[in-house]
Amino acid sequence: MGMDREHLVRTLRRIDGAGYKAYQDIRGEYDMGTWTLIVDHVQGDPFAAPSRVRARVDMGVADFPPELWKSAERRVALGDLLARGLARALRRQAGGARGSGRSGLIQVDAGGQQVLDRTAVRVSERGVEARLSVGLPAAGRRVLGRQAEEMLTGDLEAAVKATLRARSWTKQVLTDHVLLFEDQNLVRAELERRGLVAFVGNGAVLPRRSGVSDLPLEEGRAVRLVSPPSLEVGIATRHHGEVRGMGIPAGVTLIVGGGFHGKSTLLRALERGVYNHLRGDGREWVVVVEQAMKIRAEDGRAVQGVDIRPFVDNLPLGQDTARFTTDNASGSTSQAASIMEALEAGARVLLLDEDTSATNFMIRDARMQRLVAKEREPITPFIDRVRQLYEEHGVSTVLVMGGAGDYFEVADTVIMMDAYQPREVTAAAREVARLLPSGRQREAAGGLRCGGRRVPLPASLNPLRGERLKVEARGTETIILGHASIDIGAVEQVVDPSQARAIACLLNHCGRYLDGRRALPEVLELAWADLEAGGLEAVALWRGHPGDLARPRLLDTAAALNRLRSLVLATG
């Protein structure tokens, strides 16, 4: 039988001053009049992870027009907007602590500049449900019941009424956010039909405010990008007319230019372009195919059974590179492994920057070839495989290169960044290559094979630490599974801690499909199918509601699994 507001108030007043565990008495569902409060999980003490509660508003009360939530992608966008509004309202209403530990904090997972599918606020035809973390207030380890009453029936209620009803928003704000998200998805879907891998809208602001801020550079300091005429394309959208900008074609694209002119800034924008962005971010029309993967050197990473022979073979002392395994990869072997793993997971575009690449992996010039004969060099440099990736496997590459003009000979498109503006210089680069031939010999022999089946064994994944399930993430750097710690700091397209938490859940979920027969891609695809069918909630593990997860990409989930040091593969 449901309880009402008065029951909640009486309970909080009754337990005021009692030991903290008395808060367990408020678990349950409460009719608050125009909304419903559900207390799913109560923290064990004021210093533990916050309690989890839900605020639900029936659609008859919320009254958001059906056109804003009639499709799955519109529900994602509307939920994102409502989470951001709720977070702002909570900061205004309940910005301070009310006692020991995390007392008094009310939080919702609202995210950053990217618009992601989140579990924080879910919208359906039945209504709107917000999932929140609440630090129930305490003095030491004693209940502060009056302050909890103020939080739940005052601050939280005010924030819910200010955000989870259509009347609290202007129609323009609602529709602008939802329809922009829909059109960004439309542009992404249009790229392949146009033979493009990326689109950068005219007027885009690519530089960020600082190295630790993802906000756009302030107006007046920012250079707004304008496409070179030869690469300019127009893409028709449903709600924003024709959007014009620079189309980056499939194939091999070089981004060149002097230092500090914006080469890496453009590439970083393309990395993030696999996600949609907020209006006003400056990158809202930077749209990249979802299967684009940033590849970098990663000294010290673990590699398990990867066929890196297309790039590294004939190692001294006869080390096997058909099933290359190490706990301490070098820059070149780590980059080779990351490429082969990305291909295995379905990458269609590779993004590389010479600044974060191993030099000996990227190029061996003519002088070095003359001094060190090929039979003494186990590395086949990327320059000699990049065209095969596209011609044999349809995998494009976008590469920042400021110091090796040898790449002019293998590029389809060359873009020069000049004071943060792009110029297409493909013809000039080809003329330079003709007049000044590199003199180097191509070192790749035969086709580019993509390796055999890697079959993970059930022993690879153990989420238990003792008898306790330990599945969590620490920022965007580390995932914890049982006793295993996975370093994902170099998986640069995991942009939100909530994505890292979701990857942790997905890896744990993969355990049910590890049977010693299924190959690694099949295991991932089965776990992904469950997510597609049931949403992030289908793989969630947290006690109470799963309100702090955001949808990752399959490519990044595969990258995390490949960095699991306890990954064990079947032999033979």
Query: What pLDDT does residue 451 have?
Result: 75
The amino acid at residue 58 is D
Give the C-alpha distances (Å, rounded to integers) separating 562 from 330, 461, 551.
16, 12, 19
Residues of the chain with pLDDT under 50: 1
Residue-wise pLDDT tens digits, 276-314:
999 999 999 999 999 999 999 999 999 999 999 999 998
Question: Are 553 and 290 a contacting pair, CB within 8 Å?
Answer: yes
Buried b (16+ CB within 10 A) or exposed e, 142-170: bbbbebbbbbbbebbbebbbbbbbbeebe
Query: What pLDDT does residue 301 have?
Result: 96
Helices and strands in the chain: count of H runs, count of E runs: 15, 30
Residue-wise pLDDT tens digits, 260-286:
999 999 999 999 999 999 999 999 999
SS3 174: helix
Strands 471-474 and 349-353: unpaired
Strands 106-107 and 138-139: unpaired
Distance CA 109, CA 315 (A): 48
Sorted by where each begins, the domain ranges of the chain are: 3-169, 292-435, 458-562
Neighbours of 529 (CB within 10 A): 12
Query: What pLDDT does residue 545 have?
Result: 80
Query: What pLDDT does residue 318 have?
Result: 80
* Type and span of the H or E element at 35: none
Distance CA 140, CA 152 (A): 20
Strands 421-424 and 349-353: unpaired
Distance CA 361, CA 370 (A): 17
Tokens matching residue 41: 């999980």
pTM score of the predicted model: 0.96
Query: What pLDDT does residue 96 have?
Result: 58
Tokens matching residue 344: 């295995």
User: Using CB atoms within 10 A of its CB, is residue 16 exposed (0-12), middle (13-18) or buried (19+)?
Assistant: middle
Token pair 């659609």 is at which residue? 59
Query: What pLDDT does residue 572 have?
Result: 62
Work out the widest C-alpha separation in the chain, in whole angstroms: 88
Rg (CA), the chain: 26
* Residue in 302, 323, 352, 356 with CA at minimum distance from that of residue 561: 302
Distance CA 158, CA 154 (A): 6
SS3 361: helix
Query: What pLDDT does residue 101 have?
Result: 64
Question: Are 74 and 90 a contacting pair, CB within 8 Å?
Answer: no
3-state secondary structure 68-109: HCCCHHHHHHHHHHHHHHHHHHHHHHCCCCCCCCCCCCEECC
Distance CA 371, CA 411 (A): 26
Token pair 């419903």 is at which residue? 36
Neighbours of 386 (CB within 10 A): 25
Distance CA 411, CA 362 (A): 14
